[in-house]
Every structure is written in C-alpha cells, then in structure tokens.
Structure 1
Amino acid sequence: MTLSYAGYADPSWLHDIAVEKLELIIDHVEQDSQHLADGEHVSGPSADEYRARVERTASFEGRVVTSVGSAERLLEQADPAIYHGQGMTCVWRAATAACRKAKLALGLPDDDTPDESECRSSCANLAYTDRDIEDVQRRRERHRADAVDPLAPKPRRDRAAAQAAQLSGIIDRHKAQGVSDAGERTA
C-alpha cells in the first residue's frame, strides 16, 4: 500500500485531475445554464454576475484536448469561478471575498477559492438560486423545530430561533428580489 502511488516515479496520474476538474466545471455550468433557461430565479449581491458568468461560459462549444497543458489552459479560460455550497452560491472574486479577508486578518494563507467554513452572510460574492433557497427552507424548518423542542436547553432553543430568523431573512429577500412592484417575476 505505501509503495502504491508514492512509490512510483511517474506522477502522471496527477494530470488526470485537471481533466476531471474541467469536466466537472463544464457539467455544472451546463446544469446552471439549463436551470436559468427554465426560469430559475437568482438573488443576492452577485446575482447579475452569476447570470453573466453562466451565460458567458455556457456558450463554450468545446475543444479537443490533447495534452494536460491544454486542459490546464482551457481550465483557466473556462472556469467561471462559481462554487455551489450549502444553501448558497459563491461567485468568487478574491478582492471582495469576506472569507478571504477573514483568513488574512487571522494571518492564515489564502487560497484562490472560497472557504465555506469562513463564509459571511454579508459577503458581496453571494448569490442565491432557487435550489439554494430550497435548502435554506429545509434548514429553517429544522431550526424552527429545535426552537420549540421542550427537551432542549433554553440556550439551544434561543440559538435555533435566531438561526431560523436569519434564514427567514434570506428567504424573504430572495422572494422580494424576484417579484416586481406589478407582481411580476423579475430576473
């Protein structure tokens, strides 16, 4: 076992990672594009940027990739830097990323990708799709149930109630951004 990958002098298997990542990105953009075409609503500070990046990347017709270098270059060009997380979507821009700023403030090294564990609800990179809101609604219902659990300690009930209220705010803003004054659905 210890002589498996580490014992080989040929690390070419690592090159497959670039190709796999490229395929993953293409699949995600295709799904996002289809959801938008089907009328999925997107809200949040980066909603417009999300739609623009998906549209720009979805128009990618494909290329023949004959080497790992080609795959890596194509990955740099095709990657829209959209990361779907739990109940949120990050439209990554390093300059405005709250998670990156938090890590730098702590003296930690920053990556060129979001860190969901350091995500802040005030981040300018956040967007919420209808799929994200469905997840947020499920989490809100769990918190609401925890908030009225008579067997839970009061601090836990209070925390659950506060989290449910925070999630309700996200849901309400998503719905409000999706309906115009005339009652019609907006982009």
Structure 2
Amino acid sequence: MTLGYAGDADTSWMEDLALEELEMVSEQVDEDLRALDDGERVSGPSAREYRHRVRKSAAVFTGRVVIQADNARRLLSSKHPDIHHGQGMTCVWRYETAGCREEREAAGVDVHGPDEPLCRTECVNLAYTDRNIEDKKRELARHEAAAVDPLSPRPLRDREAAKATQARAVITAHELGRHGNSRQKPAGKERLDGTQTS
C-alpha cells in the first residue's frame, strides 16, 4: 500500500532498506565476534549454535563489496546468521524449534523470525551472552524489589517473585559455565514475561 501511494511511487527507499539491513547485520556479527574473541561466555541451549553462526557469518561478511540492493538481498537471504539480540537474552532463530511461533501461526500470522514478547523460557533457541546476563542482573534487581513491595497486591508480588527465580536460575547457570538448558521445563508454557499459556 505504501509503495502505491500517489500512483507512481519512488521505491528507491526499499533498496536503501536492504543495504541498511546488511550493514546492521554485518556490524552485529563483527561485535559478536569481537566479544567471543575477547572471552565472552555464552550459555543456554543454543550456545554452541550461536558461536558456530557468529564465526561462520564473520567469514562471509568480511571483505565483501556490495554495490546494489539485489546483491545485499541475496547475501542476506543466504548468509544471514539469524541471531537476534533481545533484552536479557539472544534468540538463535530456527523455525522448527521456535517456541514463539505457535501462537502466531494459530492466529494466521506468517512467521519469519522471533517475537520477543512471546518468547518461552523453555525455548531451545535461547542463548545468553555476558551482555545478556548484565541485563538479567538488572532485571533480577527490579523483580526482587517488586516482589517485596508492600503496596503491591499479593498476586503481583508472587508473579514478580517467580520472575526473579527464573532470572536467578539463568544467571546462576551462566556463571557456573553450563551450556545446556539447566532449567526444568515448567508444566505450562511460560513466556519470559512470566505469563502462562495453555
């Protein structure tokens, strides 16, 4: 619809978008590789795949010259590492194992990548870098404070306490150097925001 406005749209901004995305991805890969080379730890069920994709993608993006949008699109479609950094976690996206896709597919939404608000604690696509763990520690402090807030209703305090327990488990597993999923799977499907789904 946007491209059809005024009947004769200038679509060159779509080419700019492809080049900007390629630049963003290559910068992210470069940052991730530098962090790994500097000794950044990675934990979680997709830790090994995260390291593999970062190193493989760094080799692909180094020294490439891209002068046309079509080249950028082709390079991204074939070599995109599909690593998505979120708040306190990293998704090493794989459609087949994504915990966030079920709800969207049930609603008839096309799924092409992660949706952080729908992320599940038991998703095997998750990885945690040292950078993510710093975010988790700040998150833990907020949850712990909210869990003992005397002005908050009991159900909200209980929910915040549960979120604090989950964040603490991720931090502990990371600091102990565990690279697998150290949490027991909950009976229901719990999102990272603490809500349960059926």
TM class by smaller structure: 0.7 to 0.9
Q: Which residue matches 2:196?
A: none
Q: Which residue matches 1:168?
A: 168
Aligned length: 176
> Percent identity between the aligned chains?
51
Q: Which residue matches 1:6?
A: 5
Structure 1 residue 178, shift from structure 2 partner: 5.0
Q: Structure 1: which 4+ aligned runs deviate by more than 6 Å?
A: none
Partner SS for 1:59: helix
Matched AA of 1:156: L
Deviations 1:6-46 (A, max 9, x none): 33432121111000000000000000001101110000110
Flag structure 1 segments of 5+ consecutive residues without an equivalent. 180-187
Q: Which residue matches 1:71?
A: 72
- Compute the TM-score of the two structures, normalised by the length of structure 1: 0.87
Structure 1 residue 67, shift from structure 2 partner: 1.8
Q: Which residue matches 1:134?
A: 134
Q: Which residue matches 1:98?
A: 99
Matched AA of 1:117: P
Q: Which residue matches 1:183?
A: none
Aligned-partner Cα distance in 1 for 2:49–2:108? 28
| Range with bigger deviation, 25-34 or 164-173 | 164-173
Q: Is the 8 A contact 2:88 2:132 kept in 1?
A: yes
The Cα RMSD (Å) is 2.0
Flag structure 2 segments of 5+ consecutive residues without an equivalent. 180-198
Aligned-partner Cα distance in 1 for 2:147–2:69? 52
Q: Which residue matches 2:23?
A: 23
Q: Is the 8 A contact 2:19 2:72 kept in 1?
A: yes
Aligned-partner Cα distance in 1 for 2:134–2:143? 14
